[in-house]
Amino acid sequence: MTDASAGEQLAREDGAPMVPSEGRNLTASIVNDLGLAIVTQAFRADQPFPTEAELCQRYDASRPVLREAVKMLTAKGLLLARKRAGTVVQPEPSWNLLDPDVLRWMLQRDFSIDLLIDFTEIRMSIEPRAATLAAHSATGPQRRAISEAIQRMFAADHGDGDALDADIAFHVAVLEASNNRFMRQFTGLVETTLRFSIRRTNEYKGVPRASARDHKRVADAILEGEPALAGTRMSDLIRGALELLLVAGKHPLRP
């Protein structure tokens, strides 16, 4: 597959080339391939990164398409383009760990329970507050989304629907119902990571799925307009998952 030639590129208002739809698909493919390769250390910070010409040949891509991919990976903190020094891989502390793509790639490398512990600690600082705010100010449609997610969880208990999708839908609905623009930014991150962590914590508990009843206790507090109770119940829910991970990772329990 080849993308459009430079003469076929569209122009933005600022005069820079735009990549047509076929090129955008190729760009996304290159970003995913290189991003995963960097995160899984196929390319490392202490090794030379392929040149633009090499990558264009490897992916049968034009320079505008390749440069757009590098620009996107740079924005994620994985690459750094330096004048006259080429492009270099950035070390992990420079990566944007709040980017769902970066986190997804990290979760595809060798399993790290410490990564899930760190993420669950972040959830502890965000989701209980989101539940508190949701109980205070959730709109009618947002309340229905929370209620419907709980109904889906109970239905999944009886073999109707996907339990994991229902569980994720509940947590995303609560973040959305917080009506806090920053908390809402965590929905993609939560969805990405819960697809890995929920399976692990359920394995450690020895159950096939999360407890719909425990999630309903959080939902009830939100729907009944009990902010403090909603926050406490969400905290208890996530703390249970965190303690399972800590025990499995042979870490001491934390306050």
Q: Is the pLDDT of residue 200 over 90?
A: no
Q: Report the pLDDT value the prediction gives residue 223, as an integer from 0 to 100.
A: 98
Query: Domain map of the chain by residue range?
Result: 6-92, 111-248
pTM (2 d.p.):
0.78
pLDDT tens-digit series, residues 23-55? 678 999 999 999 999 999 999 988 889 999 999
Mean pLDDT of the chain: 87
- Judged by average pLDDT, the poorest of 72-86, 183-197, 204-218 is 204-218
Determine the pLDDT at residue 46. 84
pLDDT at residue 254 greater than cutoff 90 = no
Q: Is the pLDDT score of 204 beyond 50?
A: yes
Q: Which fold has domain 111-248?
A: Four Helix Bundle (Hemerythrin (Met), subunit A) (1.20.120)
Do residues 76 and 95 lie in contact, with contact meaning Cβ atoms separated by under 8 Å? yes
Instruction: Give me the torsion for CA of 225, 195, 22, 56, rounded to 10°.
Output: 130
6-92 is a CATH 1.10.10.10 domain: yes
Higher pLDDT, 230 or 249: 230
**Residue 203 in this model has a pLDDT that exceeds 90:** no
Q: Which two tokens mark 149?
A: 């997610």
Question: How far is residue 104's CA from residue 131's CA, in Å, rounded to a whole number?
Answer: 25
128 near 218, Cβ under 8 Å?
no
Strand pairing of 79-82 and 17-18?
unpaired
Q: Averaged over 163-184, what is the pLDDT?
A: 96
193 band by pLDDT with thresholds 50, 70 and 90:
confident
Q: Which of 4-13, 97-106, 158-167 has the lowest mean pLDDT?
A: 4-13
> How many Å apart are CA 5 and CA 15, to the nearest integer?
17
- Position with higher pLDDT, 79 vs 24: 79
pLDDT 10s digits, 106-150: 988 877 888 889 999 999 999 999 999 999 999 999 999 999 999
User: Does 196 or 166 have the greater pLDDT score?
Assistant: 166
Least confident of 60-74, 107-121, 217-231: 107-121
**In contact, 77 and 70? CB cutoff 8 Å:** no
Percentage of the residues of the chain whose pLDDT score is greater than 70: 90
Q: Are 121 and 193 in contact (CB under 8 A)?
A: no
